[in-house]
Chains A and B, each alone.
Chain A
Amino acid sequence: METFIPILMMAGVVFGAFSLTYALNWILAPRQNLKAPVKREAFECGNVSPDPGERRRYIGFYLLAIDFVLFDVEIAFFYPWAAAFGQLERQTLVFVAVFLMILIAGFIYAWKSGALELE
């Protein structure tokens, strides 16, 4: 509790203060013709946007996100090992080395199959 009460308090202060700026903005700023259709257009350098809403997305970003999930989770597994490095037995180094090899093999596969490239 000594740890999490301060963090909750911090969250309260930070979210409260930033919400207050929204409220101040609401009070101070002018509001004219907010419903005017021209004002509500999607920005397209002054043109009418041909497809403002749903459209096809580039798949490469999805692939990068998958790569991220894989590698970030695997990196996270190293943290307990690193934090306890001094107290571990000699053979644990072998286990970690094997795990790292698997990670690197996956990395090489992702690299070779072009998953780390765009276009």
Chain B
Amino acid sequence: MDAVFLISTLVKILLVFSGVLGLVVLLTWQERKQSALMQDRIGANRAAILGFRLFGLIHSAADGLKMMSKETFMPAHARKAVYMIAPLLAASFAMMAFAVIPFGDSIELFGLVIPLRIAGMSVGILYVFAMMSLSVYGVVLAGWASNNKFAFLGGMRACSQMIAYEITMGATLLGLVLIFQTLDLNAMVQAQGTLIGGVLPRWGIFLQPLGFLLFLTAGIAETKRVPFDLPEGESEIIGYYVEYSGMRFGLFMMTDFIETVLVAALVTTLFLGGWQVPFLASDGFHFPGGAEVKLSGIAVSLLQMAAFALKVYVLCWLLLLIRWTLPRFRFDQLLQLGWKYLLPASLANIVLTAAALYLLK
């Protein structure tokens, strides 16, 4: 436990924290612009600093400032302490799940080899699930503490929805764990670095196509956004944050985006090869034809980090695309989908994967 370790860890934490928040800010802007594009509108374009509008990007800053400068008040019936900390719990635990996600292999700086993840945990997957479950507490407690029937209904809906899809997530990932035989996220990404038949990268999506679809669906449900936005249901019950205002509401809004980024990062890590770039080894590219491009260690590390960021961003874009394309489920349909279709499918996925591995062994 030396100073270098602590300082490098702190730098990594700040890097991840600001990176995720930066992406969240970018996504609030992109959500408005992309929905505008899809609905043939112009979208946010008014906020300006000294006449510069930056395609509406200033709106993200204006949103943040607005949240900060709005009055926060508390309804008379609320349970005060729980009401206060619920948004904090939701946002913080969603953010803390990023601690084990590898955003690169390792980088060599000034003679030091620094692993590019905050905590190299051998049970990384279980840690991520734990944090996602704790994040549910923020939502449920908000619904309960507001002491408003709409907020309570929203909290209950959020709870039953998220636990239903969490089982699917857990069961789906068993297929990947069976193949890679590790719970360490970085070891999983490293195992995805080889090639199948010398051409196709050995990514999770090619080994577990059904698992990918199930995990992505369950992941979208975890973010509580359309088509799974029943906990909010803007036009009917408003949701668990109906009694919240100012920055306390702002944290709930941010949580949705943080979870979007988290699901994108998880799918990237588990199914899309994480920081792996196809044909890129630690000393440069090795293409199937025999062609090679030599690269220095730092260039490879930077390329891998850029690849991870790009994959996460593309998945975020895909999630936004789904969010603005599909209509909302009815609540019983949503539970049916989770319990009666996705869960049996993920159990079948386990059986099929285990049988296939057993026969191939």
Interface on A for B, CB 8 Å cutoff? 1-7, 9-11, 13-15, 17-19, 21-22, 24-26, 28-32, 34, 37, 39-44, 49, 51-53, 55, 57-58, 61, 64-65, 67-68, 71-72, 75-76, 78-79, 82-86, 93, 96, 100, 103-104, 107, 111, 116-119
Contact = CB atoms under 8 A, between A and B. Distances in A.
B67 A118 contact: no
A100 B347 contact: yes
A21 B243 contact: no
Contacts of B71: 29-32
Contacts of B147: 42, 52-53
Nearest to A104: B347
Nearest to A69: B163
5 contacts: A10-B99, A13-B10, A25-B246, A28-B68, A67-B339
B69 A100 contact: no
B210 interface: no
A79 B126 CA distance: 9
Nearest to A90: B358
B120 interface: yes
Contacts of B246: 25, 29
A68 B163 contact: yes
Interface residues of B, number: 78
Contacts of A84: 181
Interface of B: 1, 5-6, 9-10, 12-14, 17, 67-77, 88, 91-92, 95-96, 98-99, 118-122, 126-127, 146-150, 152, 156, 159-160, 163-164, 166-167, 170-171, 174, 177-178, 181-183, 238, 242-243, 246-248, 250-251, 331-332, 335-336, 339-340, 343-344, 347, 350-351, 354, 357-358, 361
Contacts of B344: 107
A75 B88 contact: no
B96 A11 contact: yes
Given A6-B119, A21-B68, A43-B238, 14 more contacts: A6-B12, A6-B99, A22-B248, A24-B68, A25-B70, A25-B248, A29-B69, A31-B71, A49-B148, A65-B160, A93-B358, A104-B347, A116-B335, A116-B336
Given A6-B99, A52-B149, A25 B9 contact: no
A13 B332 contact: no
A42 to B, nearest CB: 5
Nearest to A96: B354
Contacts of A39: 73
A85 B354 contact: yes
Nearest to A110: B339
State the 9 A-B residue pairs at the shortest beta-carbon distance, nearest first.
Answer: A25-B247, A40-B76, A82-B177, A68-B163, A6-B119, A116-B339, A42-B148, A28-B69, A64-B160
A8 B162 CA distance: 26
Nearest to A37: B76
Contact of B335 (A22, A52, A118): A118
Contact of B88 (A13, A18, A111): A18
B351 A100 contact: yes
Contacts of A7: 96, 99, 118-119, 121, 127
A72 B132 CA distance: 14
A26 B118 CA distance: 32
